[in-house]
Amino acid sequence: MKVLVTGASGFIGRALCRHLLRHGWSVRAATRLAPAATAIPAGAEVVHIAAVDGGTDWSEALAGVDAVVHLAARVHVMHESEADPLAAFRSVNADGTNHLAVMAAQAGARRFVYVSSIKVNGEQTTRLPFTEADAPRPSDAYGISKWEAEQALWQTASQTGLEVVVVRPPLVYGPDAPGNFNRLLRFIRQGVPLPLSSIRNQRSFMYVENLCDAVRVCLQHPAAAGRTFLLSDGEDVSTPELIRLLSGSLGRRTRMFPFPPSLLQAAASLLDRKEEATRLLGSLCVNSSAIRQALGWSPPYSMREALRDTAREYLASRSERRAEPVAPPANVHGAGSR
């Protein structure tokens, strides 16, 4: 079986290529980055694309593939320069995704796994976890564009017979995870005292290897076609609990002190960091039982095992990374944190 993985040079894309290769898949990796910058695993066939939008020519990438995993996306941009951010997100995430699906069906691909985002459901939970039955409530341009992509995919599936599977993970973590998770690892390793011990929340997360395993099952299980699955490690923790687990995994003493969450939220608003504050202070829980019941899937790694392995690889890579040049971020790349 040959699978095309888009966004293959991103955090999740690299891990997924390695995972599929280990399980005997023939992998074609699509990327916008030059070969020297991708670090795509050996054994994957690399194809280059200029951009992801409604006019991308995927012919070379799709030739002879049986399935597609679509990771490439326009993700959150810290300093947005677009006059119309929603239009920019739609061009890549909605138009670009559906165009790829149409071309995949025309090229003879059988299955299309779309890695969407829990942001389609919303930003926070209060009393009950999110489920697949909940009405979508995306609140930002990224989440809206992901939801629009899902709707377009279902229409394409009904018109072409393409077997579409949608997965919505929460924040994905692991070695080299971008964003808040990597920043938290760095703070803990450096012994920075964090004003977070007063937070009382619950959040779902997903280890990148657990996500890769779920995607692989969705690629091949007959009962996955036509389904949307919410994913997680199945273990919800508070922000202070996560910090304690990470501290233990890194071999560091937990350094936290109490501080009113309302003041943290106010400070984040002043610094234009509301989204980051929401991830630290708010709750977002996911009920991932549907994929377990429908496909018999369960996460191969517990959260404690995943955090231990993440910390070990993080510590092992620090000395090597100091000497490496840092590539500038692109607005369109493999999916990462959700």
Supply the residues annotated as catalytic.
Answer: 142
Task: Copy the structure tokens of residue 143.
Answer: 């989440």
| Contacts of 247 by beta carbon, 8 Å cutoff, 6+ apart | 188, 253, 254, 255
Q: How far apart are CA 17 and CA 268, in angstroms?
A: 36
Report residue 211: phi and psi, to 5°: -60, -45
Helix, strand, coil share (%) of the chain residues, nearest 5: 45, 15, 40
> Cα–Cα distances in Å, from 135 out to 32, 121, 122, 241?
34, 7, 9, 30
- Length in residues, the chain: 338
Q: How far apart are CA 75 and CA 330, in angstroms?
A: 9
* Helices of type H across the chain: 11-22, 35-38, 59-62, 85-89, 97-107, 141-160, 180-190, 208-220, 239-250, 261-270, 274-281, 289-295, 303-322
Question: Coil, strand, or helix at residue 111?
Answer: strand
Q: How far apart are CA 314 and CA 176, in angstroms?
A: 7
Which of 66, 71, 64, 62 lies closest to 40, judged by CA? 71
> Cα–Cα distances in Å, from 199 out to 170, 224, 234, 241?
19, 37, 21, 10
